[in-house]
Structure formats: C-alpha cells, structure tokens
Amino acid sequence: MRGLLDKRVLITGGAGGIGLATAKRFLEEGSRVAILDRDAAACRSAQQQLPGLQGTILADVSDDKAVARAFQELDGLFGGLDVLINNAGISIRQPFLSITPEQWRTVTGVNLDGVFLVAQQAARRMLAGNGGVILNMGSTNGLVGYHYYADYNAGKAGVIELSRSMALELGPTIRVNAVCPGFIMTPMQEAEYTPEMRRSFENKIPLRKLGKPEDVAALFAFLASDEAAFISGQYFVIDGGEIAGGLASQA
Ligand code: NAP
C-alpha cells in the first residue's frame, strides 16, 4: 500500500486476534507499530511473535486516566501519531432481560467510551502534527440486530455514528472511518468452535466461509494508506456477504 512506510501506528487491543494480525500487516508495510492492550501476558507474547514492534503499552481503554498516561508513554516512544487503529473490544453473550447495569457499563465502557477516549487523545496529536487517519472498530452488530448482544450492538452502532461525527469535525486534517466485520475466526474462537458449529455459521454466509483476522488487517491497511486518500466518514462492512440480503439471506 502507498503511504504506510515509516508511519507511526497505534493499535489498541493489538495483543490478540484481529489487532495482532493488524500489527503484523502494518509491520510488513514498513510502518512503525506500537500496541496498547490490557493483557500483560498477551503483550509479552505479541512482542516475541513480532520483534519489530516498537512498543507495547499496558492500559485499559475504558479508563480515561489510564488512556491519558498511555498516550504520554506513546509520546515518549513516537513523539506523535499518524494512524490509530481503535480496535479493542469485548462482548458478553446475554439475553436482553438479564443484562445487569454493571455489564451494560462494562461492555459499552470498553467498546464505545474506550473508542472515544483513545480517539480524542490521538486526534489532538494528529491535529498538532501532520494530520492522520483514525479507524474505529465497529461490527455488523452495529448495523443489524443480533440476539443476546444488545449492549454490544448498541455500542457498535454508537461507534459508527461517532466515526461519522468525528470525520465532519476533524477533516480535512484527519480522515476517520469505521470498519464493520462480520464473523471473523480469531485463534480463541477457532479453539472454541466444534466443526459442526463452524459449518452452521459458514452456511449462513454467501461466501461459505468465516473471515480471517488477516482479511480485516488488509482492510485497515488499505483505509490507512494513501490509496484511500478520498475516503472519510464511512463504514466498511467485511462479512462475506452475511448481511447483504437482510432476512432474505436466511431463506
Ligand atoms: P480478541 O481476540 O479478544 O482481542 C482483543 C484484544 O483487546 C485482547 O487482547 C483484549 O484483552 C484486548 N482488550 C479488551 N478489552 C480491552 C480494554 N478495555 N483495554 C485494552 N485492551 C482490551 O478480540 P477480536 O475478536 O480480535 O476483536 C477485536 C475487535 O473486533 C473488537 O472490537 C470486536 O468487537 C471487533 N469485532 C470482532 C469480530 C469477530 O468475529 N472476531 C467481529 C466484529 C467485530 P483481553 O484478552 O484481556 O480481553
């Protein structure tokens, strides 16, 4: 991709799953990459797997003070920021009527508040520097209803609207977009699903396969690059066609 060489890239939730694959991809593009994650053991493992990483910063994205400290650490490492992949997120499967206020706050606190807190710190630095690109992690769950993830779905819908609003206020200096994956097989899910479960998920998807973390990493790389220089304020679905037909796709 054009324009990623030597770019300073921060990836939240970068120690696992899609974030780790994205860190690997940006390193391959010649970028300078740091990850921010709350999982210390996973950070150590990421640094071993990807020795080219310039730093791993421990922080919980839902904690505003921890995020502010993390960015001070990042200033020492990079002295600015060009690309933010705002990826950290969690989900808890629970029927709507069983969601406790605490669970609601935990899930939206990471997935929506966390995206806001990190994006604000990043945007201030990009505005003071040479501009940049912010890519927020949404989900197809933010676009259509899914059973048993009401808190997650509401937070991801919020990320999409937050991204549009940020694009309006931060342009022309910063481009902002959201990425909305469908079913992506991270190593954790790969270990969890039986072959039958996997087949039943695959059968619901027009491309008859689940996505890989590398598929999403490639979309992030494109959207962060100069190839996407005229793209801002949008969301990009990457789901093998899963939600293309609405109810018709379930026939
Ligand atoms: P993952 O494998 O669980 O990796 C997420 C990483 O983020 C983990 O290292 C996790 O640490 C870290 N993290 C979680 N909460 C954090 C916090 N508060 N502060 C800092 N780091 C935190 O997840 P994934 O499947 O790659 O998902 C990454 C993103 O993609 C999420 O936003 C998710 O909602 C979104 N997404 C995923 C899929 C999918 O099918 N996988 C589909 C659509 C959207 P812990 O291990 O401690 O939790």
Laid out side by side, the sheet with 132-137 consists of 55-58, 32-37, 8-12, 83-86, 132-137, 174-181, 235-238
Per residue, what are the HEC states of 134-179?
Answer: EEEECCHHHCCCCCCCHHHHHHHHHHHHHHHHHHHHHCCCEEEEEE
Atom 34 in ligand 1: which residue has the minimum CA distance?
89
Annotation marks residue 152 as catalytic: yes
> What pLDDT does 249 receive?
65
CA 124 to ligand 1 centroid distance, Å: 24
> What pLDDT does 111 receive?
98
Pocket test for ligand 1, best of 10, 39, 117 (most atoms within 8 A of CB): 39
Where are the chain's structural domains?
Answer: 8-237
> What pLDDT does 189 receive?
86
Class level of CATH domain 8-237: alpha beta
Rounded average pLDDT per 10-residue block, the chain, 251 residues: 98 98 98 98 98 98 98 98 98 96 98 99 98 98 96 98 98 99 92 91 95 98 98 98 82 55
> What pLDDT does 187 receive?
87
State the first-to-last Cα distance of the chain, in angstroms, to the nearest integer.
39
> What pLDDT does 246 receive?
82
